[in-house]
């Protein structure tokens, strides 16, 4: 049985247990375990009381970025702004490690014997440069649209969030992994973090602002988390 809470489907599972237990799985699915004898009215009241927590947790799981590729070998596919690029690794004795974009390829030049960790570190620099150029281009556009302005922004390879906003410092952090996704996803993230300057919580007011400035934001969020 499924119960919808604030637009979020919650799977109801009846068990031999004493108390109710609400959890959000790693894939974003919400599950409520409830005693066999628990009346539906009590279940509905429990979910209503935990609606804010449920929305916050589901949003956090959906915004969680995927793990970065573990290997850097010739022939692997690397997505740059949503488009697939073939990674070409060239081992050149005495060469300075570097990476560059060449059409639909990303050419990584390293010395023979360079391991995955060092290859990934070199590759990360071209990705960071791509992202920093894009943020520098798009953030002023979104700031002008909203009238909100960040004092500073930085990029960082984060494991659990697409971005963060320090409201007091008016500082935005952008996850390096966004460079793998379509550019509209970067617009979504920048808008999301800028709006936290006026609304710190993920509540009805926050989502109303998202809809005002990006009517299709739910579609973009789904694209980002696909």
C-alpha distance from residue 162 to each of 6, 207, 218 (Å): 23, 17, 15
Q: What angle do CA 115, 117, 123 make, to 5 degrees?
A: 100
Per-residue b or e along 109-126, where b marks 16 or more CB atoms closer than 10 Å to that residue's CB: bbeeebeeeebbebbeeb
pLDDT at 113: 86
SS3 category, 45: helix
* pLDDT at position 146: 96
pLDDT value for 67: 45
At 64 the pLDDT is 59
HEC states along 186-225? HHHHHHHHHHCCCCCCCCHHHHHHHHHHCCCHHHHHHHHC
Tokens standing for residue 220:
């973009």
d(CA 103, CA 51): 48
Q: What is the pLDDT of residues 176-199, one digit of tens each?
A: 999 999 999 999 999 999 999 999
Measured at the CA of 116, the angle between CA 162 and CA 183, to 5 degrees, comes to 30
- Quick one: pLDDT at residue 120? 86
Sign of CA dihedral 109, 114, 115, 117: negative
Q: Residues 112-154: pLDDT tens digits?
A: 988 888 888 888 888 899 999 999 999 999 999 999 999 999 9
Contact 77, 87 (CB under 8 A): yes
Contact 188, 214 (CB under 8 A): yes
Tell me the domain boundaries of the chain.
2-62, 77-224
What is the rounded CA–CA span in Å between residue 167 and residue 91?
Answer: 45
Low-confidence ranges of the chain (pLDDT < 50): 66-69
Quote the pLDDT of residue 63. 65
Assess if CATH 3.40.50.11060 describes domain 77-224: no
């Amino acid at each position: 049985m499924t119960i919808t809470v604030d637009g979020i489907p919650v799977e109801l599972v009846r068990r031999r247990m004493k108390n109710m237990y609400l959890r959000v799985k790693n894939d974003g699915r919400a599950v409520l375990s409830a005693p066999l004898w628990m009346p539906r009215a009590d279940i509905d009241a429990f979910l209503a009381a935990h609606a804010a927590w449920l929305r916050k947790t589901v949003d956090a799981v959906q915004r969680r970025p995927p793990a970065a590729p573990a290997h850097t070998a010739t022939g692997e596919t690397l997505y740059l702004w949503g488009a697939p690029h073939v990674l070409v690794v060239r081992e050149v004795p005495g060469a300075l490690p570097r990476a560059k974009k060449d059409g639909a390829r990303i050419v990584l030049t390293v010395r023979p014997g360079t391991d995955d960790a060092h290859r990934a570190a070199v590759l990360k620099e071209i990705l960071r440069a791509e992202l920093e150029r894009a943020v520098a281009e798009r953030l002023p556009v979104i700031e002008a649209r909203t009238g909100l302005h960040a004092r500073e922004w930085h990029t960082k390879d984060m494991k659990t969030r697409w971005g963060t906003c320090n409201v007091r410092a008016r500082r935005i952090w952008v996850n390096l992994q966004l460079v793998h996704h379509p550019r509209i996803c970067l617009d979504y993230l920048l808008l999301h973090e800028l709006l936290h300057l006026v609304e710190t919580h993920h509540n009805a007011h926050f989502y109303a602002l998202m809809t005002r400035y990006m009517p299709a934001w739910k579609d973009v969020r789904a694209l980002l988390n696909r």
